[in-house]
Structure 1
Amino acid sequence: MEMEMDGFDRLPTPLILQIFDLVSDTKTLIRCLAVSKRFNSLVPHTDSLVLTVDRVISSDSDSDSDGDDVSNLLSSALRFILNSLHSLVSPSKPDPTRTRARVPNSPAQILRCFHRVRRLAIDLPSGDLRLEKGTVLKWRAEFGKTLRTCVILGFRSVGESPAPAPAGAESDFAGGLKVRVVWTISALIAASARHYLLKEVVREQTGLECLVLRDREAEGAVVMEKDGLRECREEGEEVGDEEEGLDRCRTRVPSVRMRMRHVPRLELKGGLWVEGATLVVVRPSYGGGDMAAEDGELALKAFGDGLYGEVAQKLVKARSYLLEMNSF
């Protein structure tokens, strides 16, 4: 009597790979390696992945458990940077004989069983910034070997009616400039820290065409597309001991020009009001030219057509102020 063939055995390989791409969750796909010999041979060819870094399966683990919550290497590094900027230390090299059971894998280690990744999204458990209650700050940064552009949108509150101005509050641009500069620097530090933590992934996954490191609070995202990935990979091959004197927890932010727009009160569709809305478009100083005309396109790309996109598109039409900042 012939053994009944499993239904999956009848599926053509391209269809199974398409299913794996739709699954995309790295943890689930790693488990699929143990399902069958065929799955074990096909899972590494998945080209679209989502990696959630606060819950991982250790490749060194001999257990078959669901995977315990482990310390999040990425978010811990980011919290450390933002909480103690003046006491950064270089991470020591781990002792491979002692880290087997207690140190979580880095994203690059987890992804080593995948050979043809083209699109990768890495999800952090939370954002990096801790602002005053009610303040909203969103940002999107594009990188190559260093920062290419960063678009930052912030406001203090949103509601169905304009809030009364507090007694003695300054609503003009100069009055709140310090706060907005702090918002900008905080976003740039968070972006440069995330970019640094992606470099090992970029070097090892040579087929990548799009890489996004984001958080589930949708606060900010670092994006690297095909040209930026190639540039970062080539830069990694050239850099040697000269990097030893730099921060080992983030990529250096180059000297930048920041075009800032601010509207104290902004009315949106549907009768909503946004208080203290600010849009900042950051570009490296060495790029040349003003390129203010491209700000609307960058804002739309960063924030889409929803509430944040509407705020950004209205701000693009407001008066702008140009500021410059040295590398840090």
Structure 2
Amino acid sequence: MKRSSSKSHMIEEMDGFDRLPDSLILLIFNSISDIKALIRCRSVSKRFNSLVPQTESLSLKVDCVISPESDSDSLFTLFKSLLKSIHDFFKPDPKTTARNQTQNSPARILSQFNRIRDLQIELPAGDLKLEKGAVIKWRAEFGKSLKSCVILGFRRVANPEGNSADEEINFTGGLKTRVVWAISALIAASARHYLLNDVVKEHREMERLVLVDREGEGTVAIEKEGLRECREAARGGQWEEDGGRTVVPCVRMRMRHEQRVQLKDGVWMEGVTLVVVRPCSGGGDGEDAELALGAFGGGIYGEAVQVLLKNKSYLLEMNSF
């Protein structure tokens, strides 16, 4: 009997995991952040099951949101299918929710967490369909409406040895294309923002919400103050929407362009355009550098932005849409 008691005592001493405080385990869960992995952790033990819902930093990856309709070249059709798919993702039809919602549905997964402060949602693809060789990167900050949007567009990243017939791009001739780029990015940003409405309302402790895509095309960010604005607007019935997206206010677009930008590693970016968008009631043009570098402060995009900020700018104003 003494020998058995001694053996049991040794096992208890070896199992020191339960001695870890809840705060340390929650720190580990916040570092994991991936919702699917955290859900699996709930089955480990009763203790994990009770602690996982308290995780504050989460990352949700959406596997598929675009329907076959999006094969159309129509930008409207693409956004329509994207909106419908993601809207169903976050807010299923109440008539079918009860019978169709499974344990793995995103709406139910998010509802299992009650202390979300930092949430990142990743879509499987970007929203824009561009002509061959064109690349657009954008980042938009929102409150109840658009606060700012920084757009960086270029034709290609090329090596100087590879000459092409259309290397020289005339800015005036391409202005229409660049305006279309900017409007398309704003529509994509406002559509993503609208889709976050229910998530913002349901998780009132959230302090930061970011929606990105796996391709790195666009980012919508809502910080603490912006989230507060969203909730107040929702309570007051002031959340403006038009066809499944947030209304873009009257904006001022400050555009800069460079035909070719040589980067430090010898690579050239061609037809590079930087657009800083702010509501007409927003701050002064002196904020351009801060916004642009904040959106694209590192890597080759940051290099391009620093060059473009030294260039002459063109101002365009656009009515609310």
Q: TM-score range by the shorter chain?
A: 0.7 to 0.9
Aligned-pair CA distance for 1:113: 1.2
Task: Say if 2:56 is the partner of 1:27.
Answer: no
Aligned residue number for residue 65 of structure 1: none
**Alignment match of 2:207 (pick from 196, 209, 223):** 209
Distance 2:206 2:256 in 1: 35
Decide whether the 8 Å contact of 2:262 with 2:269 is kept in 1: yes
Larger deviation: 247-256 or 174-183?
A: 247-256
Q: Note the alpha carbon deviations across 1:123-178, whole angstroms, 9 max, x for none.
A: 111111121222111000000001100000000011221765637x8733211011
Give the TM-score of the pair, scaled to structure 1: 0.83
Distance 2:130 2:36 in 1: 32
Distance 2:212 2:97 in 1: 32
Unpaired segments ≥5 residues, structure 1: 55-70
Aligned residue number for residue 166 of structure 1: 165
The amino acid across from 2:22 in the alignment is: T
Distance 2:176 2:231 in 1: 36
Pair 14,39 (structure 1): closer, same or farther in 2 beyond 3 Å: same
**Alignment match of 2:47 (pick from 18, 34, 38):** 38
Aligned-pair CA distance for 1:104: 7.3
Q: Note the alpha carbon deviations across 1:227-264, whole angstroms, 9 max, x for none.
A: 10100111111117x85xx4352111111110011111
Percent of residue pairs bearing the same amino acid type = 57
Aligned-pair CA distance for 1:117: 1.2
**Alignment match of 1:260 (pick from 241, 252, 255):** 255
Structure 1: 4+ residue segments shifted above 4 A: 75-81, 85-92, 101-104, 162-165
Task: Say if 2:289 is the partner of 1:296.
Answer: yes
Aligned-pair CA distance for 1:38: 0.5
Pair 185,279 (structure 1): closer, same or farther in 2 beyond 3 Å: same
- Say which one has the larger Rg: 2
Pair 162,155 (structure 1): closer, same or farther in 2 beyond 3 Å: farther
Decide whether the 8 Å contact of 2:255 with 2:276 is kept in 1: yes
Distance 1:78 1:18 in 2: 43
Secondary structure of 1:145's partner? coil
Pair 255,137 (structure 1): closer, same or farther in 2 beyond 3 Å: same
Larger deviation: 10-19 or 265-274?
A: 265-274
Aligned residue number for residue 61 of structure 1: none
Q: Note the alpha carbon deviations across 1:92-127, whole angstroms, 9 max, x for none.
A: 9441367516897345x4211111111111111111
Give the TM-score of the pair, scaled to structure 2: 0.85
Task: Say if 2:120 is the partner of 1:111.
Answer: no
Pair 78,293 (structure 1): closer, same or farther in 2 beyond 3 Å: farther
Q: Over aligned residues, Cα RMSD in angstroms? A: 2.9
Aligned residue number for residue 157 of structure 1: 156
Decide whether the 8 Å contact of 1:162 with 1:273 is kept in 2: no
Between the two proteins, the alignment pairs up a number of residues equal to 303
